[in-house]
Amino acid sequence: MNPSSPRLDALRARLAASGIDAVVLPSSDPHLSEYLPAHWQGRAWMSGFTGSMGTAVVTRDTAGVWADSRYWVQAEAELAGGGFSLMKIGTPADPGHADWLAAHLPAGATVAVDGDVLGLAAARQLAATLEAKGIRLRTDLDLLAAVWPDRPALPAAPVYEHERAPVSRAAKLAGVREAMAREGADWHWLSTLDDIAWLFNLRGSDVEFNPVFLSHALVGKSGATLFVGEGKVDADLSARLAADGVALAPYETARGALAALPADARVLIDPRRLTYGFRQAIPEGATVIEAVNPSVFAKSRKTPEEMALLRETMAHDGAALAEFFAWFEAAMARGERITELTIDEQATAARARRPGYVSLSFATIAGFNANGAMPHYRATEAAHAVIAGDGLLLIDSGGQYAGGTTDITRVVPVGTPSAEQKRDFTVVLKGLIALSRARFPVGIRAPMLDAIARAPMWAEGVDYGHGTGHGVGWFLNVHEGPQSISFRGAAEPFTAMQAGMLTSIEPGVYRPGKWGVRLENLVLCQPDGASEFGEFLRFEAATLCPIDTRCVVVEMLTAVERDWLDAYHAEVRARVGPLVEGAAREWLERRTVAL
């Protein structure tokens, strides 16, 4: 029985007592984080669905979770028996949770959502949709607070200096102030944790997999205030911050400080990276300037020093994977019992032996056959597969290192893969190669590149439901903007690819109940000359790990595609080879033989 049932009853009782007809539970916190501290995982606690993305809606007699295709299989299993229905985002039958509420609630009804965790843009859309049908939206209630008696406390891990950051805190603050001046702002408010960690050259461990810490920041023309939990910054670090004009204030005082700005303040905010509650705290008379946080652009464009450190990190990550795959193939040959959980343990241990390793960059996805068909599958002690028989093993993993963040997906054969499995693998490989080889003009919006990876796959009659690529931080969040190579993304000017950006390329094919194939490399965007039509960019492969040619139908590849794969494997062998020895070196040489 899904444990959400009594919780759902308690929440409905609270709805009735508060005169509320429906409540929206988004997957977010006051910082709009992708991965949430336990304190704000209310949607998962209430519904039982543990996926990182999704929105729950509870009315007096109905409950649903809206999730996209990456989570459908997982959500159906986790929601079973708990009173929640799965609402499939992106299907003709699903109107979206806002439209669903507008259609199912009568005029005069009231919908509640905690404004402190609802994005400003999402709040505006929800309010407009509901108001058009005469439905009231309340954002001043946290209904979970009354029904979640053992709600976890806020994390208390210490904040530390990122000593390998090549650009000083003072220089970054100066750059942000220059951007503020161009916008005509004298104050800039930040709530997104990766922006704050980047700007102040600080790191933490408050959010699983992301080296960030709970905080807000207010940057003025001559000073800045960092709102962070008391005791999280020691005296020495506090003194260094003060030397750069950064004062500390308690985390819980952030909203009050924003509300206390002068009435004539000119405040720069990013509406995509601020919650409705904090927007409401800005004094009514203040001038609000809406623009993308300057730090978003700056941190996305890795400096030459950051790229050099990242290349070293990628080589060590590749060495860790060479050691892991050498172990895996040898253990399988010996007939050892290996499960999806074993894969996670061994891959993580191999990374942990590498210099600069801090943590995983996300929860490892190790899915054998049917489990690989769930893009965000996660094996658990209660439900996991043994790696045995014939098929495909998909492994999506990554690490946080002091010199950069990694994210890679590989698929390897177990036993003898079928002809159809190998065909799917090769089609996905063609998509990866197509975008990896792309040359395109400066200024091209990232979403427009999505079709380049899909075109070879469309030609074979296959497709996938998720985006093709996301930005990646430098020892920061594994998902960052402003670029997103996805057909769902808006091709706005700020999404344009720029030199220095680190981005994933990860096409896939998923056959529910059978198998999944996804291949993922990280690439660095680099200048690639100019012509009378302007400046051009290309991608440099950053990820260094062989693509298993045992799954490739060579006849399906063109000569250009074969040459790309051979050149990539030669690069992997040259850069990872010096970092491994013994069985790992033998495995690397075996898996990088030219086609």
Residues written for the chain = 595
The more confident residue out of 13 and 4 is: 13
User: What pLDDT shows up at residue 382?
Assistant: 86
Is 334 found in the same domain as 267? no
Cross-strand partners of 188: 219, 268
| pLDDT, tens digit (0-9, with 9 covering 90-100), for 22-45 | 999 999 999 999 889 999 999 999
Locate tokens 């996670």: which residue? Answer: 344
User: What pLDDT shows up at residue 296?
Assistant: 96
Of 279, 299, 319, which one is at a domain's C-terminal end?
Answer: 299
Amino acid code (one letter) for 305? E
Q: Rounded to an integer, what distance in angstroms lies between the CA atom of residue 527 and that of residue 531?
A: 12
Is 201 found in the same domain as 142? no
Cross-strand partners of 484: 470
Is 180 found in the same domain as 119? no
Of 83, 14, 96, the closest CA to residue 55 belongs to 96
Q: Does residue 94 form part of some domain?
A: yes
Q: Does residue 205 form part of some domain?
A: yes
Q: Rounded to an integer, what distance in angstroms lies between the CA atom of residue 189 and that of residue 31?
A: 12
Q: Does residue 154 form part of some domain?
A: no
Q: Which residues contact 199 (CB under 8 A, 6 or more apart)?
A: 169, 172, 173, 176, 190, 217, 219, 295
User: What pLDDT shows up at residue 82?
Assistant: 85
Is 348 found in the same domain as 422? yes
Of 147, 170, 200, which one is at a domain's C-terminal end?
Answer: 147
Residue 316: pLDDT band (50, 70, 90) is: very high
- What value does the mean pLDDT take over residues 566-586? 98
User: What pLDDT shows up at residue 52?
Assistant: 80
Is 276 found in the same domain as 315? no
Q: Does residue 116 form part of some domain?
A: yes
Is 317 found in the same domain as 240? no
Residue 435: pLDDT band (50, 70, 90) is: very high
- The pLDDT > 90 percentage for the chain reads 90
| pLDDT, tens digit (0-9, with 9 covering 90-100), for 137-164 | 999 989 998 899 999 999 999 999 999 9
How many domains is the chain partitioned into structurally? 3
Amino acid code (one letter) for 282? I
CATH number for the domain that contains residue 58: 3.40.350.10
Number of neighbouring beta carbons within 10 Å of residue 588: 27
User: What pLDDT shows up at residue 291?
Assistant: 96
- The enclosing H or E element of 73 equals helix 72-79
User: What pLDDT shows up at residue 92?
Assistant: 74
Q: Rounded to an integer, what distance in angstroms lies between the CA atom of residue 406 and that of residue 398?
A: 5
Is 348 found in the same domain as 474? yes
Q: Rounded to an integer, what distance in angstroms lies between the CA atom of residue 43 and that of residue 24?
A: 9
Q: Rounded to an integer, what distance in angstroms lies between the CA atom of residue 25 and that of residue 143?
A: 9
User: What pLDDT shows up at residue 69?
Assistant: 77
Residue 1: pLDDT band (50, 70, 90) is: very low
Q: Does residue 523 form part of some domain?
A: yes
Q: Does residue 142 form part of some domain?
A: yes
Amino acid code (one letter) for 28? S
- What value does the mean pLDDT take over residues 356-379? 94
Is 126 found in the same domain as 74? yes
User: What pLDDT shows up at residue 176?
Assistant: 98
Number of neighbouring beta carbons within 10 Å of residue 346: 18
User: What pLDDT shows up at residue 81?
Assistant: 84
Is 120 found in the same domain as 236? no
Residue 4: pLDDT band (50, 70, 90) is: low
User: What pLDDT shows up at residue 200?
Assistant: 98
3-state secondary structure of 380: coil
Is 582 found in the same domain as 508? yes
Of 299, 332, 358, which one is at a domain's C-terminal end?
Answer: 299
Q: Rounded to an integer, what distance in angstroms lies between the CA atom of residue 46 and that of residue 532?
A: 58
- What value does the mean pLDDT take over residues 463-467? 93
Q: Does residue 376 form part of some domain?
A: yes
- What value does the mean pLDDT take over residues 286-294? 96
Of 39, 43, 71, 70, the closest CA to residue 56 belongs to 43
HEC per residue, 274-334: CEHHHHHHCCCCCEEEECCCHHHHHHHCCCHHHHHHHHHHHHHHHHHHHHHHHHHHHHHHC
| pLDDT, tens digit (0-9, with 9 covering 90-100), for 394-425 | 999 999 999 999 999 999 999 999 999 999 99
Residue 89: pLDDT band (50, 70, 90) is: confident
What is the pLDDT of the chain when averaged over all its residues? Answer: 95
Q: DSSP alpha helices (H): ranges in 184-218?
A: 193-200
Which domain, by its residues, includes 137? 4-147
Of 381, 304, 314, the closest CA to residue 341 belongs to 381
Is 312 found in the same domain as 281? no
Q: Rounded to an integer, what distance in angstroms lies between the CA atom of residue 524 and that of residue 199?
A: 21
CATH number for the domain that contains residue 510: 3.90.230.10
Is 188 found in the same domain as 110? no
